[in-house]
Structure 1
Amino acid sequence: MTEAPFFHDLVPDRPEQGRTAWLRTADGIRLRAVAWPVDGARGTVFILHGRSEYIEKYAPLAAEFARAGLASVTIDWRGQGLSDRHPRQPMMGHVAGFTDYQADLQALAAHATDLKLPKPWHVFSHSMGGAIALRALLSGFPAKAAVFSAPMWGIAFAPGLRPVAWTLTHAAKPLRADQRFALSTGPTTYVATAPFAGNSLTRDETMFELMRRQVTTRPELALGGPSMGWLREALRECRALARSAPPDLPALTGLGLAERVVDPRPVHAVMARWQKGRLMLVPDAEHELVMERDRARRAFLDAALDRIAG
Structure 2
Amino acid sequence: MFYSSENELKSNQSAISNFYDNTLTKSYLNTPYGQLFYAYAIPKNPHIAIVISSGRIEGLEKYKELLWELYNNNYAVFIIDHQGQGRSYRHLKNKHKGYVKRFEDYAADLHLFNKEVVDNYWQGKKVLVSHSMGGAIAFDYLAHFEHTFSGTFLSAPMLDIYTKGTPKPLAKLVASTATLLGFQYSYALGQTDYTPDEFAINTLTSSPIRYELFRKAYKQEPKLQLGGVTYGWLHTTFAFISSVNKLTVNIPLYIASAQNDEIVDNSAQYKLANRHENTILESFADAKHELFFERDEIRQPLLKSLYQFCESVTI
Do the structures match in fold with TM over 0.5?
A: yes
Given residue 127 of structure 2, which amino acid in structure 1 is its aligned partner? H
Is 1:225 aligned with 2:241? no
Cα deviation for residue 245 of structure 1 reads: 5.0
SS in 2 for 1:309: helix
Aligned length: 298
Aligned residue number for residue 5 of structure 1 = none
Cα deviation for residue 179 of structure 1 reads: 2.0
* Equivalent runs, 1:238-277 vs 2, <5 Å: 238-241=241-244, 243-277=245-279
SS in 2 for 1:247: coil
Unaligned runs of 5+ residues in structure 2 are 1-12
Change (3 A) 1:260 1:187: same
* Equivalent runs, 1:84-103 vs 2, <5 Å: 84-103=89-108
- The answer as to whether partners of 1:11 and 1:56 remain within 8 angstroms in 2 is no
Percent identity, please: 28
Is 1:199 aligned with 2:202? yes
Is 1:237 aligned with 2:236? no
> CA separation in 1, counterparts of 2:164 and 2:283?
22
Aligned residue number for residue 304 of structure 2 = 302
Aligned residue number for residue 140 of structure 2 = 135
Q: 1:119 aligns with which of 116, 124, 127?
A: 124
Q: 1:283 aligns with which of 282, 285, 291?
A: 285
> CA separation in 1, counterparts of 2:23 and 2:123?
15
- The answer as to whether partners of 1:10 and 1:214 remain within 8 angstroms in 2 is no
Report Cα offsets for 1:229-254 as digits up to 9, x if no partner: 0111111101211x135422222111
Is 1:105 aligned with 2:107? no
CA RMSD of superposed structures (Å) = 2.0
Change (3 A) 1:285 1:113: closer
Q: TM-score, normalised on structure 1? A: 0.90
Change (3 A) 1:206 1:84: same
Report Cα offsets for 1:241-280 as digits up to 9, x if no partner: 1x13542222211111101100111111001222211111
Unaligned runs of 5+ residues in structure 1 are 1-7
Change (3 A) 1:13 1:230: farther
Report Cα offsets for 1:199-224 as digits up to 9, x if no partner: 11001111111111111111110100
Aligned residue number for residue 51 of structure 1 = 56
Change (3 A) 1:97 1:198: same
Cα deviation for residue 68 of structure 1 reads: 2.7
Cα deviation for residue 135 of structure 1 reads: 0.8
